[in-house]
Every structure is written in C-alpha cells, then in structure tokens.
C-alpha cells in the first residue's frame, strides 16, 4: 500500500498563477505544479529569508491554497498527532484554517468532528488531513476521507457535507478535490472505489463512476486533440478518462505498472504522462482523444524510471521528478521516455512532496525539511540545498505565489522571500 501522497479545465492558462493571482487547488490552477512567479528565493534557512512562519494548531500534509486576501489550509488534532499523546478517536478533529495572506496570522479556525470509527493508525505519519482544499470566489471545499466532502463559505460557515463511503485504509486518504464548472470532483478510491461529482452549491451528487481501485492521485482535466475536456485519473494497472460533466467513461489504457497509483498525472499538448510504482514499468505517456481500450493505439511509450509517491512536472519537452525513496532526481525526454539524467542528490533521503516548477527552477522538498533547488534544464545542476528542519515531517507540496515560496510541515507554515 502507498505512503501518500483540484482543478479546472486546462482552458485556464498558467497566467492564473502569475504574481497577484490565486492558487486555488493542489498544484495550482491546472494541477500541473507550475508557477509563473519570478524573483523567488533560492537560498534560505530558519533564520534567513523567512518572511513569517505560523504555528499550526495540528498536524497535516495538505498544501495551502490562496484566493483574495486569504490562505486556506487544513490540519487535524486530538488523535495520533506526531509528538503528542495518542489520545482518543472521539477527540479527533479536522480543522480548516483561514490565514491572512500577507502576515500569516490565523483569522479563523473551523473544527469538524470525525465520522467514527476512523483508521487507528496512519502509516508514515501521514495523518488525517492529507487532502489539499479547493477554493473559489464563494466557497472552500475540503475532503476528509470517510468524514466526507465539506463545503464552507469564506467566513468559516459550513454549507454542506457529502458522503463518499465508509472504508478506511492504513495509508489514509490523500486525493484532493477538483473544481470543474459547477462541480466538485473527488477521487474516493479508498472510501468506495468511486469517483464522485457534486454540485458546488448544494453538495448534491451529480454523477458517480465505479471501479476506481488502488488510486490515491488527484484527477486532472485536460483537452484532447478535438478541444474537448477529459477527466483523467490513474488506477492500479490503468489510466482512465471520463467526460467531466457526465462521468461517462471515454477510454482506458493499460499502464503495465503493477502497483497502486499515487503520483498525479501531468499533461501537455493532448498527451498525459503518469509515473508510479517501485519496480518494472514505472512511467508512460498516452495520447488523449481515444475510445475504449487505447493501449495499442494511443500509448506512446513506457519506461522503468518513476516514483511511488511524488508527482512530476513537464517543462520544455522534458519530465522532471524525484524518486520518493532513493532521493534520485530524474529528467526524461517527454517524446520518448528516454532518461536524460539520473542523479542521486546528497542528503535528499525520502521525498513525498510533489515537485514544483517556478522561475526556471524545480523545488523538491524532502520529508525531513530540506529543499533542493535544481535548474529546470536537461543537465543536472543543483543550485542550492536549504534546511528548515523543525523536528517534524514535511509531506506537503510547496507553493510559489506572490513572489514567495510557501512550505508546510507538521508544525508550521513557512513563508520565504528573496533577500
């Protein structure tokens, strides 16, 4: 079983993540892990380059999202918090926090009771707040596993709650909500082997697709060759495509990856790229726009270099990612899957956070709090190694916005700026 680990259509351009814009979901407006920010910090420590840090009232592995003058982030308290007494399940609470975007001050804290019984322990200390919320101009949408999908307004008032199933898992639940038109789409593979779409205003179920097995990744909406949107999700052994409006199955492609699927898919020019697994085939590329089983007609290539947890980025005809367990940085040629470089990064250790591309650089955050800044080019160039170790775990994916870099640990949300 895996360790751990939102999205409007790709008709949204990357300009939405430019300076002064918003970062409304996991890995940004297009779930690509790409920011157009410039002038970001490349060197920092706990004392230098720190604009502010905010102590969280609980642990968590979700990333922050940004809209208007607010930051929204989730955490959990009361039960199985690393470094604290175990506690009782009846005390488990998920929290949605609203922070001031400029200062990091907590403006409000909304606690949500858990639907019990919950998983007694979560492996690798991922905890009970792994899903990054999604936000639009009216609401914040949180996914809390078997406790369901919960929508709040921007003042913290709970608007609705929707169930997605009762199952639990030793690795927890990790996929983040995807916003598409009037829908909130959630991968509830852990809870019910299902992909759900709910009405954003009411929480009413609009459609449900079954057969979503062994899948911890966040779905992504891409445009196919005909300009139509396809909702893509990876499951054990297959990549699946759906009509995001109706939930109708469009196509499927065998991956030849034998493992559960945790990393999220990235896309470029109608081709989707997936990585996953620990051995054998661990990466592939597939053309969108097919019907039925497209393994023989649309699968472009497969390769044996990948990652079991962290997600890749696409940049200038190449894929970049760091292996979750070996601390090895990879660059693959996107057209063929050919390995351009494979470099073991000193002191990287395990990396669960997904990669972030910004300002011509790729940011990789390790579990112990080091960040490795690597040039986004097909020759390996480690620009800087930074250290924010605070005695807790760093599983959340970093965010680049407002000319700053935001990194979250189990203890703090850090805001870093260039000096």
Q: For the segment 231-249, what is each residue's pLDDT rounded down to a tens digit?
A: 999 999 999 999 999 999 9
pLDDT of residue 413: 98
pLDDT tens for residues 406-418?
999 999 999 999 9
pLDDT of residue 357: 98
pLDDT of residue 331: 98
Give me the number of domains the chain comprises.
Answer: 1
β-partners of residue 148 are: none
Say if 6 falls within a structural domain: no
pLDDT tens for residues 149-201?
999 999 999 999 999 999 999 999 999 999 999 999 999 999 999 999 999 99
Say if 157 falls within a structural domain: yes
Do the strands 149-153 and 139-143 form a parallel or antiparallel pair, or are they unpaired?
antiparallel
CATH code for the domain in which residue 272 is found? 2.130.10.10
User: Which tokens hold the place of 121?
Assistant: 């322990």
How many angstroms separate the Cα of 302 from the Cα of each of 148, 214, 320, 335? 36, 20, 16, 11
Say if 124 falls within a structural domain: yes
* Mean pLDDT rounded to a whole number for the chain: 94
pLDDT of residue 7: 33
Provide the pLDDT confidence category of residue 419 given band limits of 50, 70 and 90.
confident
pLDDT of residue 15: 33
Buried-state track 199-226, b at ≥16 Cβ within 10 A, e below 16: ebeebeebbebeebebbbbbbbbbbbee
Say if 3 falls within a structural domain: no
Say if 364 falls within a structural domain: yes
Q: Using CA atoms of 353, 16, 180, 140 in order, give the dihedral in degrees to the nearest 10.
A: 70
The answer to whether the beta carbons of residues 191 and 145 sit under 8 Å apart is yes
pLDDT tens for residues 86-109?
999 999 999 999 999 999 999 999
Euclidean distance between CA atoms 44 and 47, whole angstroms = 8
Quick one: what percent of the chain has pLDDT higher than 90? 94
Say if 173 falls within a structural domain: yes
Say if 2 falls within a structural domain: no
Euclidean distance between CA atoms 325 and 351, whole angstroms = 7
**28 by DSSP, 3-state: which?**
coil
What average pLDDT score do residues 255-281 get? 97
- Burial class from Cβ neighbours inside 10 Å (0-12, 13-18, 19+) for residue 129 reads buried
Alpha carbon 367 to its chain's center: 15
Euclidean distance between CA atoms 332 and 116, whole angstroms = 44
pLDDT tens for residues 113-154?
999 999 999 999 999 999 999 999 999 999 999 999 999 999
pTM of the model: 0.94
Say if 313 falls within a structural domain: yes
In the block, residue with structure tokens 């009216």: 138
Cis omega (within 30 of 0) on the bond before 117?
yes
By C-alpha distance, which of 171, 168, 170 is closest to 147?
Answer: 168
User: Structural domain of residue 194, as residue ranges?
Assistant: 14-416
């Amino acid at each position: 079983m895996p360790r751990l680990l939102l999205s409007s259509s790709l008709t949204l351009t990357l300009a939405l993540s430019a300076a002064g814009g918003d970062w409304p979901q996991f890995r940004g407006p297009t779930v690509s892990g790409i920011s157009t920010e410039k002038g970001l910090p490349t060197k920092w420590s706990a004392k230098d380059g720190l604009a502010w840090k905010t102590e969280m009232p609980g642990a968590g592995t979700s990333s922050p999202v940004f809209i208007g003058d607010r930051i929204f982030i989730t955490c959990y308290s009361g039960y199985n918090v690393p470094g604290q007494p175990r506690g009782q399940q009846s005390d488990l609470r998920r929290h949605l926090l609203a922070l001031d975007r400029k200062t990091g001050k907590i403006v409000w804290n909304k606690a949500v009771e858990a639907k019990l019984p919950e998983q007694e322990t979560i492996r690798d200390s991922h905890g009970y707040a792994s899903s990054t919320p999604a936000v639009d101009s009216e609401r914040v949408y949180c996914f809390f596993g078997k406790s369901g999908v919960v929508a709040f307004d921007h003042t913290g008032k709970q608007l609705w709650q929707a169930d997605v199933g009762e199952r639990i898992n030793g690795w927890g639940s990790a996929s983040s909500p995807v916003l598409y038109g009037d829908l909130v789409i959630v991968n509830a593979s852990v809870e019910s082997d299902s992909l759900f779409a709910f009405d954003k205003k009411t929480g009413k179920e609009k459609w449900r697709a079954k057969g979503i097995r062994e899948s911890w990744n966040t779905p992504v909406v891409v445009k196919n060759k005909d300009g139509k949107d396809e909702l893509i999700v990876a499951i054990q052994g297959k990549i699946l495509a759906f009509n995001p409006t109706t939930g109708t199955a469009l196509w499927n492609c065998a991956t030849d990856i034998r493992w559960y699927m945790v990393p999220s898919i990235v896309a470029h020019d109608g081709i989707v790229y997936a990585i996953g697994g620990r051995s054998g085939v661990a990466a592939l590329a597939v053309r969108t726009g097919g019907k039925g089983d497209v393994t023989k007609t649309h699968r472009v290539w497969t390769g044996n270099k990948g990652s079991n947890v962290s997600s890749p980025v696409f940049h200038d005809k190449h894929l970049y990612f760091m292996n979750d367990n070996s601390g090895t940085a990879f660059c693959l040629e996107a057209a063929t899957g050919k390995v351009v470089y494979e470099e073991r990064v000193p002191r990287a250790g395990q990396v669960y956070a997904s990669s972030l591309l910004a300002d011509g650089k790729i940011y990789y955050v390790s579990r112990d709090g080091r960040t490795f800044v690597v040039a986004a080019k097909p020759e390996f160039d480690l620009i800087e190694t930074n250290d924010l170790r605070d005695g807790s775990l760093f599983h959340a994916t970093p965010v680049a916005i407002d000319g700053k870099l935001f990194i979250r640990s189990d203890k703090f949300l850090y805001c870093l700026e260039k000096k």
